[in-house]
Amino acid sequence: MLIFSRYNLVLLAVPKTGSTALEVALEQEADGRFGNPPEMKHLPLYRYNCFVRPLLQLGTGQDPETFALIREPISWLRSWYRYRARNSKARFPTSTCYIRFDQFVREAMLDDPPPYAQVGC
């Protein structure tokens, strides 16, 4: 998450969308940054609205324009699938080492997906 106070903007980081590259390119312009741990970098919108937005409003007297970039959905799912298919992840319940991509996509769309198909988390 990058905060641009002088422009009244906040850029939220969405996992697996290239947000790290965007942060590297824009960090010199930013007035603030949540980068580590990943739970802070990828703060869900509802937490941002509960905690960070009120703090920024208090500090600046304005409601910041908040935005995020998203990725084409199949490309985004493929990125999650490949990331979780690495051998170093094989022993974790989030691993996709032993399932096909089409199964991963179907299960990612379920209301209660298995751990390996919970994306954006």
Tens place of pLDDT per residue across the chain (121 aa): 999 999 999 999 998 888 889 999 999 999 999 888 878 888 889 999 999 999 999 999 999 999 999 999 999 999 999 999 988 878 899 999 999 999 999 999 999 999 999 997 5
Domain ranges of the chain: 2-68, 73-117
Asked whether the beta carbons of 31 and 3 are under 8 A apart, the reply is: yes
Torsion angle of the four alpha carbons 24, 25, 29, 35, in this order, in degrees rounded to the nearest 10? -20
User: Phi/psi at 118 (nearest 5 deg)?
Assistant: -85, 100
Measure the N-to-C terminal CA separation of the chain; round to a whole number of Å: 15
Predicted TM-score of the model (pTM): 0.75
